[in-house]
Structure 1
């Protein structure tokens, strides 16, 4: 392989165009899992503006024009430990490539100076990487390519009680609060700050790690919110009642995929299930906007099971340079943590107990912060 490695800001205009064109064709070529906006050059470049460890490997063919045939974004420590761009934050990872391109994972890691490359949302169809996967997980999707009415009809059939209850709650919200409206692409940055504040409070309330306590993540989301040109864009969707936001979601879109990322709502309106109402409006607006499907992301959630029409598969694991001491040490340190987490998540009783424990810790943390 002919591989050159660059910071994302040093990619040429021709290379960025080749990457965008390559990804734009994946949906029509039947590789829909590669159409996700987390695999777009704009996402990698945005992360690169807030982290110094981001790199992109450009793979070229051996033809006379020396054209790019693949782009491999990653993060790298000074010891050669590689991670997917935005590991733990991005919901789709991998190598973006032309159809029919095959690569050797060991050769690629060597060219990138990586001892190991870790992933947790590897897109399906990445066979050289999938061979090293330690687990495969469902990522629920809402298919709206046949239109909103078709999706709603399917939802009434497969989740009749859920659909009936959610639509009834929206009517009740309208009766009790009058001015209810939905904005699919809200451009008011104050609404984005509200989403991040709600999400931070939710993380703390449920005992989870607060992503928005990390300054670079807040800055990344604000950066992506202001990216609003071409097929890639940050989309902030807001449900308002009485002129105030009651539920909102910030995600990313490509030409055919809306990646659901940060949903949140005002707990004062929880009896109306405003987050569910919001997702139905998102599906309707996405269908009108030419989106094929909404990717709800990996993770077991009751609302995802109710809304979904199908699932994609994503993998987690490590690609390791053979006998490399850094790779062996990294896997030995990380593997037990991942195995324990996946065991808990895959067993409902263990998950419920862990969830109750985390929420209890969250309540203690909230009380401590109030003093």
Structure 2
């Protein structure tokens, strides 16, 4: 095998077609973050994006998109923004991992949402976690029966709040795949407010991330698209979501709601309606991503598996990277895997968010309240 390194934007039409064909041939790769369109968009915005093209004789056997940072530090494409990464190839393909790193000029590659069980990386997996999905292959009604079985009380409560929202605030209307950029801005403003309230760093304070979302929102093809959904009460937007889809899978990315309507649980009401419209649109699954909120356990009707791990070549850079990153990764994994710890961490971050909001409101207009390093 021969490995060449290019930027995704340099791939020709035949190479992009080959990427799509390999992705469609393996159900475990049915995730838009593994699509060539996402790699090309990232390449337009960030200089460190690369793809290793694996040649087997005259044919292309696989593609490995990644980020190459200073000192040969390798990261998954999209890093903290994404919920899945891996090698796009036939399921049985196994590449010499150290040779792959040499060709990519990487000292180390750290992953935390790798498609589990890929032969090239399986030996380097240190932890495998479930990512809950809404399985819609048997239709919306079948999925809803599973949700009811998971917790009849929760479903009854949400349906009651849904009716109450419509009765008190105006007839409910759901818009699927909205093309309106103004609606997208409403959603992103809600999400920024949520980040600040809960003590997280506002991702949309980085202009390139907003530009990436705009690029994704403009994508409209059978195999890949950005999907903006919005729930309205009367003419007022109350909850929405922006995610990416392949031909059959929608991946959760940025859900948010207007806190003025929090008493109606609009986020969960929105998710129920989003599942119904996704099923009508012919999608087979909504991937909610690993870890996080309890509502995922209630809404799930299946799981996928993603892995954490690390590949390195002997070097001083790899050693320093291990010292700096491994304890942090292990701590994050432990917190996400234990609901009790996640709740404590969430409360601490929300407390910080309240303090930060107070400081910002009390500060003179030209005063900047800095984020603590490492805040997520």
What TM-score comes out, normalization by structure 1 length? 0.94
- Report the counterpart of residue 258 of structure 2 in structure 1: 266
Give secondary structure in 1 for the equivalent of 2:80: coil
Give secondary structure in 2 for the equivalent of 1:92: coil
Q: Which runs of 5+ in 1 are unaligned?
A: 27-31
Displacement after TM superposition at 1:133 (Å): 2.2
Displacement after TM superposition at 1:230 (Å): 2.8
Distance in 2 (CA, whole Å) between partners of 1:331 and 1:246 is 44
Is the Cα contact below 8 Å between 2:93 and 2:119 reproduced in 1? no
Give secondary structure in 2 for the equivalent of 1:146: coil
**What is the 5 A alignment of 1:124-135?**
124-135=116-127
- Report the counterpart of residue 324 of structure 1 in structure 2: 315
Displacement after TM superposition at 1:242 (Å): 2.2
1:114 aligns with 2:83: no
CA deviation string 1:268-305 (max 9, x = no partner) = 11111111111111111111122111100111311101
Is the Cα contact below 8 Å between 2:131 and 2:306 reproduced in 1? yes
Displacement after TM superposition at 1:244 (Å): 1.7
2:145 pairs with 153, 161, 166, which one? 153
- Report the counterpart of residue 350 of structure 1 in structure 2: 341
Counting matched residue pairs gives 362
Give secondary structure in 1 for the equivalent of 2:99: helix
1:301 pairs with 273, 293, 317, which one? 293
What TM-score comes out, normalization by structure 2 length? 0.93
CA deviation string 1:214-242 (max 9, x = no partner) = 11111111111111123200000100112
- Report the counterpart of residue 29 of structure 1 in structure 2: none
1:54 pairs with 49, 63, 66, which one? 49
- Report the counterpart of residue 357 of structure 2 in structure 1: 366
2:76 pairs with 76, 79, 84, which one? 84
- Report the counterpart of residue 40 of structure 1 in structure 2: 35
Q: Which runs of 5+ in 2 are unaligned?
A: 363-376
CA deviation string 1:101-148 (max 9, x = no partner) = 221111111111111111111012313213222322221000001111
Is the Cα contact below 8 Å between 2:241 and 2:253 reproduced in 1? yes
CA deviation string 1:19-69 (max 9, x = no partner) = 01111222xxxxx2211111000011111111000001111112xxx1111
CA deviation string 1:315-340 (max 9, x = no partner) = 1221111x222112111111121122
Structure 1 vs Structure 2 CA RMSD: 1.3
Is the Cα contact below 8 Å between 1:232 and 1:254 reproduced in 2? yes
1:313 pairs with 297, 300, 305, which one? 305
Distance in 1 (CA, whole Å) between partners of 2:148 and 2:330 is 37
- Report the counterpart of residue 339 of structure 1 in structure 2: 330
Distance in 1 (CA, whole Å) between partners of 2:15 and 2:188 is 33
1:287 aligns with 2:286: no
Displacement after TM superposition at 1:18 (Å): 0.6
Give secondary structure in 2 for the equivalent of 1:365: helix
Distance 1:294 1:331, change over 3 A: same
Displacement after TM superposition at 1:310 (Å): 1.6
Distance in 2 (CA, whole Å) between partners of 1:134 and 1:282 is 34
1:16 aligns with 2:23: no
40-49 or 155-164: which moved more? Answer: 155-164
- Report the counterpart of residue 367 of structure 2 in structure 1: none
